[in-house]
Structure 1
Amino acid sequence: MGRWRIILNVKLTSQGIRDYGTTTPNVDVNEHLRRDRTNITKNKIILLWNSFYGTRHFGAGAFRREAFKINKCKVNTCSLETDRGLLEKAAAVVFHIRGKMTPFPRHANLRQLFVYFLREPPPLTFENSPRYRKHFNITMTYRSDSDIPVPISRYVKQTNGTGTKHALKYPLSSKSGQVAWLVSHCNTSSQREIYVASLSEYISVDIYGNCGSYECARNTSCVEHLERNYKFYLSFENSYCKDYVTEKYYRTLNYEMIPIVYGGANYSKLGPPDSFINILDYRSPKHLASYLDFLSENEAAYLTYFQSRPLWKSVDVLGKAFCDLCELAHNETFHRIYSDVHEWWTRDSCDEKIVERIIASTKV
């Protein structure tokens, strides 16, 4: 799969502020974050305008100064607030784009940061993004080209870990099922259901949830059942969009199944290498099924997908993101202008024809 190439067209306005228009901001924000912190003393207010799926602190873990202390921020002189009466004093205002945003405020001053916060892909963005497209000057999304990236999860390699041959709790020979899929949305923009239907012609795929004939409670006991009985798990995203990957992938790394992934992220950069199977590495569902059959009969090859997992651990993402936002709130040189943030968010971001092209190519 080809990597995304983005060309940045930056110009300076008469005020000396970078204007990105509808192009992608790809300036190294870390350059700003590395600036001298010794003079940072004044407390900055970061105002959360709405909630993040019912979570008022947006996953930061706490409010006010405590949010930046518990996350061990290098700069912790910020206060996370929810009182809209503090708008005039806020250095940054965070908006969850899929939340209730009305009444939408005006900028209190030219330097105030209006943060475009979103962790869902463009097909699920709904109405708020285009409605308020001209109001934001900083992005905080799952995309790596955001000013502050906030992926769903993040794995890092441990410096003190050692790779060892992984002895499975549930031996390969004890797993009677081949491929499992737990799914609730049956018709998606990524067309994942079409690929699964084709794959099912060549290998057994048991579908749990709203879209299949198998029932399983949506809790840990369900996934444990799948772990005991299946060799592979389909971690297919509902949207094929740049950098978009969800818990469908990350969750499987905690269980003894090999995730079969389909999504727009660069999975090799997300976690343990050689721990997943990407459908885009195979010419067709038939070729993928053939490889899965091979692994099912070759335990040594199957176990290689678990060998590097002990070297990696998941780390907090949202806490780190608010640390970065606190630093930028203090940085007098940080400026952004998005003349149309919705255009940046949606333009060339997703591909809804991947599966269609794969299936069509097998018929040639």
Structure 2
Amino acid sequence: MAEGNLAFLENKCPFANCLVTDDSYYFSDISQFDAILFLGRDISNIKMPSVRSPKQVYVFAAQESSANYPLCDEYLDGFFNLTWTYRIDSDLYLGYFTILDLAGNVVGPAIDMKWPDVLEPTCDELKIKLRSKSKLAAWFVSHCSTLSDREGLVEEVQEELRIYGLSVDIYGTCGTLTCPTKEPELCYEMIERDYYFYFALENSFAEDYVTEKLLTALNNFAVPVVYGGANYSRFLPPGSYLDGRELGAKELVNQMIDAVNNMTKYYDFFRWTNHYVYENRIQANEICKFCEIMNDERKISDMSVRDDFRRWWNDENYYYNCLE
């Protein structure tokens, strides 16, 4: 979030009198801050405040996966008043993208996402664009060894694809192909023009951890192949993606080949475009909600702490990360 109150002004928040700063010496006494925000990836390396005002709000904020940044210190249970993370059940949501309907209303992501029972057929104009594609799949990647072992999945997929004389084209430091990072729009144009599928694989498995990789596929008219620890029905309409973790390499390849050989099936992956838009931005209402909370003295005085923080944050990895 930008320093000062710019974020609250730009988003036309009902309250814009909150001031954000990264200067811990802005006040002579750190207990004078109404709220202190702690970044999850930095907590293990920072000196915690020695004094805390009874009215001071401690906020835990994170966009990095809990699997990559586990937090196991016992004092963290009962330490934070608010959570502001990529997890949808956080007090404030800090996801990598926002889902809007065609009227511009924010509709997701959400735990209980309500997708239409029937999605309208893909329009003819988009079908023409999709018919120009000629390459099976691409993957842009710079981290070659990950907790999720996504590289292992791709290796298995490559083995399955050799039967068909095909492969996943890998761009970046982990592959043999390059695309100009200083001109990303050229890379996106290439995805839109050439590739049927795009591998949107996460580096670790964690609840609701779905990053902007997904938008590379969705906003460039390629079908996303996902791989992560999230329940993807919270993020994507049914029939709009393939789940590599769920399908496994062999079945994933079977479904990719089947869709390319039957364009009617391939077109159906894009029915969502008649209903939704995906944007790479934080939800404005979450930014505004924070300042509203800070202006509500009653809410602050009644605010409790999260006693189960470690179990919540580390989710399914809690036992392995913290109790072994």
Inter-CA distance 288–65: structure 2 relative to 1 (3 Å threshold): closer
Which structure 2 residue ranges, 5 or more long, are not aligned?
Answer: 106-118, 162-166
1:73 aligns with 2:3: no
Match of 2:32 in 1: 89
Deviations 1:1-51 (A, max 9, x none): xxxxxxxxxxxxxxxxxxxxxxxxxxxxxxxxxxxxxxxxxxxxxxxxxxx
Aligned counterpart in structure 1 of residue 253 of structure 2, from 289, 293, 297: 289
1:323 aligns with 2:256: no
Match of 2:171 in 1: 208
Aligned partners of 2:83 and 2:90 also within 8 Å? yes
Match of 1:121 in 2: 65
Inter-CA distance 314–107: structure 2 relative to 1 (3 Å threshold): farther
Shift of 1:235: 0.6
Aligned partners of 2:98 and 2:283 also within 8 Å? no
Inter-CA distance 75–129: structure 2 relative to 1 (3 Å threshold): farther
Match of 1:307 in 2: 271
Deviations 1:39-64 (A, max 9, x none): xxxxxxxxxxxxxxxxxxx2xxx443
How far apart are the structure 1 equivalents of 2:143 and 2:12? 38
How far apart are the structure 1 equivalents of 2:254 and 2:209? 28
Inter-CA distance 324–83: structure 2 relative to 1 (3 Å threshold): same
Question: Secondary structure, in 3 states, of the residue corresponding to 1:241?
Answer: coil
How far apart are the structure 1 equivalents of 2:269 and 2:307? 45
How far apart are the structure 1 equivalents of 2:11 and 2:132? 42
Amino acid at match of 1:275: S
Aligned partners of 2:100 and 2:278 also within 8 Å? yes
Match of 2:144 in 1: 186
Deviations 1:303-329 (A, max 9, x none): 122232242224542543221211222
Question: Secondary structure, in 3 states, of the residue corresponding to 1:202?
Answer: helix
Question: Secondary structure, in 3 states, of the residue corresponding to 2:35?
Answer: strand
1:142 aligns with 2:81: no
1:153 aligns with 2:97: yes
Question: Secondary structure, in 3 states, of the residue corresponding to 2:20?
Answer: strand
Amino acid at match of 2:13: C
Amino acid at match of 1:345: W
More helix by share: 2
Using the size of structure 2 for normalisation, the TM-score is 0.78
How far apart are the structure 2 equivalents of 1:131 and 1:223? 45
Question: Secondary structure, in 3 states, of the residue corresponding to 2:76?
Answer: coil
Shift of 1:214: 1.6
Aligned counterpart in structure 2 of residue 337 of structure 1, from 283, 305, 309: 305
How far apart are the structure 2 equivalents of 1:295 and 1:312? 22
Inter-CA distance 159–227: structure 2 relative to 1 (3 Å threshold): closer
Q: Which moved more, 1:234-243 or 1:272-281?
A: 272-281
Question: Secondary structure, in 3 states, of the residue corresponding to 1:220?
Answer: helix
1:262 aligns with 2:227: yes
How far apart are the structure 2 equivalents of 1:157 and 1:273? 16
Question: Secondary structure, in 3 states, of the residue corresponding to 2:175?
Answer: coil
Inter-CA distance 136–178: structure 2 relative to 1 (3 Å threshold): same
Q: What is the aligned-residue identity percentage? A: 32
Aligned partners of 1:253 and 1:309 also within 8 Å? no
Question: Secondary structure, in 3 states, of the residue corresponding to 1:313?
Answer: strand
Shift of 1:339: 4.5
How far apart are the structure 2 equivalents of 1:328 and 1:140? 13
Question: Secondary structure, in 3 states, of the residue corresponding to 1:222?
Answer: helix
Aligned counterpart in structure 2 of residue 197 of structure 1, from 155, 170, 175: 155
Using the size of structure 1 for normalisation, the TM-score is 0.70
Q: Over aligned residues, Cα RMSD in angstroms?
A: 3.0
Shift of 1:89: 3.3
Amino acid at match of 1:239: S
Amino acid at match of 1:182: F
Deviations 1:249-308 (A, max 9, x none): 1232110211111112222222455322222453x3212211111111122221122232
